[in-house]
Amino acid sequence: MQLSQRHQEYWNKNLVMTTVLMVIWVFVTFVIGYYARDVFSFNFFGWPFAFWIGAQGGLAIYVVLIGVYAWYMGKLDREYDVAEGDE
Amino acid sequence: MATQTKSQVQAAFFQTLKKAYSFYTGGFVAFVILLAIAEQMGLPRKWIGYIFLFATVGLYAGIGILSRTADIAEYYVAGRRVPAFFNGMATGADWMSAASFIGMAGTLYLTGYFGLAFVLGWTGGYCLVALFLAPYLRKFGQFTIPDFLGARYGGHIPRFVGILAAILCSFTYVVAQIYGVGLVTTRLVDVPFEVGVFLGLGGILVCSFLGGMRAVTWTQVAQYIVLIVAYMIPVIWLSVKHTGVPIPHVVYGKVLEKVTAREAELIKDPKELEVRKIFAERSAAAKEKLKDVPKAYQADKAAATNRLADLKAQNAPSEQIKAAEGAIPASVDAAKAAYARDAGLAARSGPPLRHAEAFPGKDDQARDINRKNFLALILCLMVGTAALPHILMRYYTTPSVKEARQSVTWSLFFIFLLYFTAPALAVLAKFDVYTLLVGSEFSKLPAWVAAWQKVDATLLSITDINKDGIVQLAEIVIGGDIIVLATPEIAGLPYVISGLVAAGGLAAALSTADGLLLTIANALSHDLYYKMIDPHASTQKRVTISKVLLLVVALIAAWVASQKPADILFLVSAAFSLAAAGFFPALTLGIFWKRANKWGATLGMLAGVGITFYYMAMTQPWLRRVFGVQSSIADNTWWDINPISAGIFGIPLGFVVIIVVSLLTAAPDKETQELVDHVRYPHLRGDIDTQAT
């Protein structure tokens, strides 16, 4: 079937959101990991910061990222009339 | 009832489930409390083990039998009505294997910061699942992962490559799980390992044989509850003991500071230095002897014989004479093995690892290699997580795309509960060992030390190397698995908690084994038999064939596990790199790039798996022996990457090959392009329906 302009817009918004979340994901995982010895080695309530991110903070951020995506896409589905109905 | 909408039915179903599992959780806690009381009243330990084994496995069997089905959609995808919350729990149990439950905290104990690669990799991968795969696969809505490859890329070839890749990574993984089941069963009820494997196999089959995905789903939820309760109780107890706070996650930063301070003392402690020097000397002497084994053997034999004669002449006590008799090398081969073992003591002559230090190394280059491998391992584990078929399959079982997205959030939340506890447990256990065990007298060692030394010397062994009667850190050898298994005893908890922990480990291994077995059996019965060999088979026949194949695959896997294959841990990690390189590029490009076509995907999957496997075969000691690779490891490594992270080469190559080959060959037809649009939108008015029923 032919997709409308609105459909294209929905997909583009999805791609933008996906990219934003992936940038955060890369930062938390790989940028903090790469500079774990220098920039991110400061003391954070007893933990070296990079250690804390690897053991707790990063994991919590991952949960939040996925939660935000699920919430945002649910909203987008309704806004663009592509939500699943009650058949 | 006909007026009820789908969402009302779903809501009622959710309430029923909530009630059933709340009741179940309460019942389980009451059961543990009753056992604890029985223990105080004198119930022997052996009985506690038996009761735990048969009660939990009996429970799973009950759920498995209640969930029996011959309906094809129920058998393959649990009728697609598993609510997001419960699918999250089931995925958590599916995901967390014996290695996560028993091994993770130990790995963190032994490797410090580096071990966090596993914690990060095995959780962060769910971001990829949520953003790139789960909702789209749910919309596609068939039964297996090769199904998607077959439909998206057209024809049997991509499907067949998918089947091979799915079996390759799932089979190595399931062997490791059955091995874990055997170990835990052996520990719980004291039977030989082979018997334990086949006892455990019974436990696996009762969950999946009669009811397929439906039975596996509901037993996995039950298993998740057991495993998370079992993991948390000892850690919380240990935390209260050390810090007075029952939430270890909040406070172990302070304990980590104390551990770091203690490490600094132990690194320069004169007694520790003395022990490490003895190891270095022994190792150097053994290396010298290895240069001419027959000569060293003759010399050692003569010296030992002389000493024995001296002792006898002096009328020394009989145990001294016995020890001297034992010290005479039996043969040249025995002597050679002993020298090689002693040469390996060099590993114990170094200072202890600093737990919190990122990328330790003797110079900048070593630290750099360490960091490179840390980041590469995280990437491979993450992408591998997002490509393992037994996990992706779970997202076919939710009622809608929306619930599939929510379900990934719940999955990661439930996994997070265990994974952010493991680093805390590692630090708390380390603190106990460094402060209580190190520096104590050999004559006053706690009872659990002797008990575990007897069970398995690779898990724990303490010997007075410098004969000062005091335990030095360098005199302790610890195997990773003991951290979780012995925590209840270290914390001084009753034996019933040790039984609970073993039952938790069993639940973790059983649930993962079931998910994997189902993946393999479905790939064979649904994709290979039904889709490629006999498309006209009746649904009845398809379900029957699935059940028979499940049994056959389970027996083969149990047989392999009972042979105790070498390097089982490496095989598991290898499964991640292989899955990452094989599936991830083809699946994501199939959704996000309409131009990707059959030849691109087929060659991309083959190239990704091929180069990953090639790199492992060239650089991993065990595979090198299998394939008879002669050239040196150093010549074969690329940028110092460890074989476990071989996917770091396979993933990009997979993407590049798919893109280049697709652009060189014809674009996919209109129908395929419409399929891509179809999976991108949860609901399009007037659209095709790809859902299999």
Percent of chain B having pLDDT more than 90?
Answer: 11
pLDDT value for B65: 84
Side chain identity, residue B134: A
In this complex, do A44 and B5 lie within 8 Å of one another by their Cβ atoms?
Answer: no
pLDDT value for A26: 92
Distance from CA of B192 to the nearest CA of A (A): 37
Mean pLDDT of the residues in chain B: 84
Q: What is the mean pLDDT of residues A18-27?
A: 93
In this complex, do A66 and B408 lie within 8 Å of one another by their Cβ atoms?
Answer: yes
For helices B364-385 and B568-592, the axis angle rounded to 10 degrees is: 60
- Whether B683 and chain A come into contact, CB under 8 Å, resolves to yes
Distance from CA of B123 to the nearest CA of A (A): 6
In this complex, do A63 and B412 lie within 8 Å of one another by their Cβ atoms?
Answer: yes
Q: Which of A69-78, B88-97, B630-639 has the lowest mean pLDDT?
A: B630-639
Q: How far apart are CA B80 and CA B78, in angstroms?
A: 5
Domain ranges of chain B: 271-349
For the segment B423-462, what is each residue's pLDDT rounded down to a tens digit?
A: 988 888 888 888 888 888 888 888 778 777 776 777 788 8
- Which among B70-74, B227-231, B333-337, B490-494 has the top mean pLDDT? B227-231
Q: How far apart are CA B252 and CA B355, in angstroms?
A: 13
Residue A7 covered by a domain? no
Please count the structural domains in chain A. 1
pLDDT value for B411: 92
Structure tokens given for B56: 């939990």
Q: How far apart are CA B165 and CA B627, in angstroms?
A: 20
Residue A6 covered by a domain? no
The C-alpha angle with vertex B360 and arms to B355 and B364, in degrees rounded to 5, equals: 160
For residue B585, pLDDT over 90 is answered with yes
For residue A87, pLDDT over 70 is answered with no
Confidence of residue B1 (pLDDT cuts 50, 70, 90): very low
Distance from CA of B107 to the nearest CA of A (A): 13
Q: What are phi and psi of B477, to 5 degrees?
A: -115, 125
Burial category of B274 from C-beta neighbours within 10 Å (exposed 0-12, middle 13-18, buried 19 and up): middle
**Residues in chain B closer than 8 A to A8 (CB atoms):** none
Structure tokens given for B439: 């520096």
> Would you say B634 and B608 are in contact if contact means Cβ atoms under 8 Å apart?
no
Q: How far apart are CA B126 and CA B119, in angstroms?
A: 12
**Cα separations in angstroms, A1 against B193, B464, B658, B672, B676:** 59, 78, 26, 12, 11
Picking from B131, B256, B681, the nearest residue to A18 by CB comes out as B131
Of residues B456 and B62, the one with the higher pLDDT is B62
**Cα separations in angstroms, B334 against B257, B291, B298, B337:** 45, 15, 12, 5
In this complex, do A48 and B124 lie within 8 Å of one another by their Cβ atoms?
Answer: no
In this complex, do A51 and B409 lie within 8 Å of one another by their Cβ atoms?
Answer: no
Residue A46 makes CB contacts below 8 A (sequence gap 6+) with B252, B253, B254, B255, B256, B257
**Residues in chain B closer than 8 A to A85 (CB atoms):** 683
**B461 bridge partner residues:** B477
Q: How far apart are CA B324 and CA B339, in angstroms?
A: 18
Relative to beta strand A43-44, strand B476-478 is unpaired
In this complex, do A66 and B412 lie within 8 Å of one another by their Cβ atoms?
Answer: yes
Neighbour tally for B374: CB within 10 Å:
23
Q: Pick the residue from chain B with its C-alpha nearest to A34.
A: B371
In this complex, do B120 and A29 lie within 8 Å of one another by their Cβ atoms?
Answer: yes
What sections of B154-269 are H helices per DSSP?
156-189, 193-208, 212-243, 248-268
In this complex, do B409 and A46 lie within 8 Å of one another by their Cβ atoms?
Answer: no
Q: How far apart are CA B398 and CA B411, in angstroms?
A: 12
Q: Which of A12, A21, A51 to mutate to test the interface with B (most CBs of B within 10 A)?
A: A51
**Cα separations in angstroms, B487 against B28, B174, B256, B484, B492:** 21, 27, 18, 5, 8
Distance from CA of B593 to the nearest CA of A (A): 12
> Would you say B654 and B581 are in contact if contact means Cβ atoms under 8 Å apart?
yes
In this complex, do A66 and B6 lie within 8 Å of one another by their Cβ atoms?
Answer: no
- Whether B408 and chain A come into contact, CB under 8 Å, resolves to yes
In this complex, do B358 and A50 lie within 8 Å of one another by their Cβ atoms?
Answer: yes
Model ipTM value: 0.93
Confidence of residue B506 (pLDDT cuts 50, 70, 90): confident
DSSP per-residue codes, B83-139: -HHHHHHHHHHHH--HIIIIIHHHHHHHHGGGGHHHHHHHHHHHHHIIIIIHHHHHH
Q: What is the mean pLDDT of residues B341-351?
A: 79
In this complex, do A56 and B420 lie within 8 Å of one another by their Cβ atoms?
Answer: yes
Q: What is the mean pLDDT of residues B101-123?
A: 88
Distance from CA of B1 to the nearest CA of A (A): 15
Listed as own residue / partner, the contacts of B298-306 with beta carbons closer than 8 Å and 24 or more positions apart are B300/B329, B300/B335, B301/B328, B301/B329, B301/B335, B304/B328, B304/B329
Q: Is the dihedral of CA B617, B621, B626, B630 positive or negative?
A: positive
Q: How far apart are CA B437 and CA B444, in angstroms?
A: 10
**Residues in chain A closer than 8 A to B88 (CB atoms):** none
- Whether B249 and chain A come into contact, CB under 8 Å, resolves to yes
Picking from B130, B253, B683, the nearest residue to A69 by CB comes out as B130
In this complex, do A34 and B249 lie within 8 Å of one another by their Cβ atoms?
Answer: no
- Whether B410 and chain A come into contact, CB under 8 Å, resolves to no
Q: How far apart are CA B545 and CA B547, in angstroms?
A: 5
Strand ranges for B376-465 from DSSP E: 460-462
Structure tokens given for B533: 């060999």
DSSP per-residue codes, B48-60: HHHHHHHHHHHHH
Burial category of B363 from C-beta neighbours within 10 Å (exposed 0-12, middle 13-18, buried 19 and up): exposed
Residue B149 makes CB contacts below 8 A (sequence gap 6+) with B158, B159, B161, B162, B586, B587, B590, B601
For helices B156-189 and B145-153, the axis angle rounded to 10 degrees is: 170
Q: In a 3-state reduction of DSSP, which class is residue B688?
A: coil
CA dihedral of residues B110, B114, B115, B118 (deg, nearest 10): -160
pLDDT value for B604: 92
In this complex, do B416 and A77 lie within 8 Å of one another by their Cβ atoms?
Answer: no
Residues 137-166 of B with CB under 8 A from A: none
Direct distance between the N- and C-terminal alpha carbons of chain B, in angstroms, rounded to an integer: 22
Q: How far apart are CA B609 and CA B600, in angstroms?
A: 14
pLDDT value for B286: 84
Confidence of residue A86 (pLDDT cuts 50, 70, 90): low
> Would you say B651 and B385 are in contact if contact means Cβ atoms under 8 Å apart?
no
**Residues in chain A closer than 8 A to B382 (CB atoms):** 29
pLDDT value for B45: 80
For the segment B158-201, what is each residue's pLDDT rounded down to a tens digit?
A: 888 888 888 888 888 888 888 888 877 877 777 787 888 888 88
In this complex, do B135 and A58 lie within 8 Å of one another by their Cβ atoms?
Answer: no
Distance from CA of B652 to the nearest CA of A (A): 16
Q: Pick the residue from chain A with its C-alpha nearest to B403.
A: A70
Picking from A46, A70, A82, the nearest residue to B683 by CB comes out as A82
Phi-psi region of B537 (alpha: psi -120 to 50; beta: other; left: phi over 0): beta
The C-alpha angle with vertex B599 and arms to B597 and B603, in degrees rounded to 5, equals: 120
Picking from B256, B416, B680, the nearest residue to A47 by CB comes out as B256
Owning domain of residue A62: 14-79
For residue A38, pLDDT over 50 is answered with yes
Percent of chain B having pLDDT more than 70?
Answer: 98
Q: Which of B123-127, B166-170, B251-255 has the lowest mean pLDDT?
A: B251-255
**Residues in chain A closer than 8 A to B135 (CB atoms):** 73
**Residues in chain B closer than 8 A to A50 (CB atoms):** 113, 358
Q: Which of A61, A62, A80 to mutate to test the interface with B (most CBs of B within 10 A)?
A: A62
Structure tokens given for A8: 């294209």
Q: What is the mean pLDDT of residues A49-57?
A: 86
**Residues in chain B closer than 8 A to A65 (CB atoms):** 127, 130
pLDDT value for B288: 81
Q: How far apart are CA A63 and CA B178, in angstroms?
A: 30
Distance from CA of A44 to the nearest CA of B (A): 8
